[in-house]
Structure formats: structure tokens, C-alpha cells
Amino acid sequence: MKKTTSSCQISHTKELIIETARRLFSKYSYLAVSMSDIAQRLSITKAALYHHFSSKAEIYKTVLHKAFDNLKFSLSQAFEEKTIDKKLCKLIENYLNFGLKEKSLVKALVLELPQENQPIKKHLLQLKEKIIEMIEPLVKEMIKGRKSASNSKSLASLLIGMMNGVLIEHLVSNKKIDFRKMSKQIVAALF
């Protein structure tokens, strides 16, 4: 009698693969991790891994999407604040805290992959654009009515660059950073 695999088991296995790959990508980077590394860490064969995902790129995109969904949720919490200043500070603080937890996404968004990985690079650029689109309404609201009304999309991009710079500094130097204080400084510098 042939034994069938339930969709629950398949789903659980996929989640296990994604989580294991996320940890490996975060620790070693996309380029340094192979399908063999992921399979070995899970104690499965590469064939079993390929049963669930067609390529390392597909796994990586899935990891990035899950991380991005978590980032989106985290940033959306800032919109619950009462004033625009508090919203923006909370957004920055949440982005920085998220960046500490999800180093793989931040590294990928900041330190883009070399040219030979065009599909992944294109995907990362799309994720960056989505983050800018999420932040831009707050930036628009912040600069509304100011004499020096700048391009909100450019300012949102600059804001992301500043936040990523703070995260890179933290990752490289391992200095403890007060994200609440840093968020207020960034808002003061930009607006």
C-alpha cells in the first residue's frame, strides 16, 4: 500500500526549509549558501529539497517575502501613533529594530548582489520600491505645508538610506544604539 504525504506535512517541511535557509542566508549570505548546505542542515537529500523548491533563488525569494511581510506589519504599527512626528519616529524605530532581527533582508537590500544575479537583484529592487511606497505617505504628510517642500519619494529614499546606514554601522561596529533617540535625530535632520 502506497503511503501518501499530507498537505500538512508538506507545508511543515516547506516552512522548515524556509526557516533553515533564512538562518543560513542571514549568517553567511545568499552567495555563500548552496542547496547542499540547506539540505545538509536539514538532514535531507538535495532531491528532497528540490521536491519543494526548484532553486536556491526560489527559496531566497520566499525568505525575502516572509521577511518583507514582517517588515510591512512592523512599519504599519507606526501609523497608529497620534501625531506625524510620533508616527515617523515609531516607523524609524520599528525599521531599525526589525533590521537587527532580520539581518538577511537588510544586508540584501543594502548590499545588493553582484550583476550575475539579475533576477534576485531585480526582486530586491522591487522590495526596496515597496518599502519606499510604504514610507512615502508619512514623508508627504511631514513636509506638507513647509516652505521647502521636497520630493517625498526622494526624501523617503533618503530616509531609508539613513536607516540602513545606522544598521550597517551597528552590524559592523557592534555598538549598542538607542533606536528611539536615533529615530528622533533622523527626523530632526531630515525635517
Tens-digit pLDDT string for the chain (191 aa): 444 556 667 678 899 999 999 889 888 878 889 999 999 999 999 999 999 999 999 999 899 888 888 889 999 999 999 998 899 999 999 999 988 887 766 666 666 555 567 787 788 888 889 989 999 988 888 888 665 556 888 888 888 888 888 888 887 787 788 888 988 888 888 77
User: CB-based burial of residue 93 (10 Å sphere; 0-12 exposed, 13-18 middle, 19+ buried)?
Assistant: buried
Question: Could you say which DSSP state residue 146 is in?
Answer: -
Beta strands in the chain (DSSP E): none
SS3 (DSSP) at 82: coil
- What are the angstrom distances between the C-alpha of 186 and each of 32, 119, 144, 158, 164? 34, 33, 18, 10, 12
Question: Could you say which DSSP state residue 53 is in?
Answer: -
SS3 (DSSP) at 116: helix
Question: Could you say which DSSP state residue 148 is in?
Answer: T
Name the pTM for this structure.
0.78
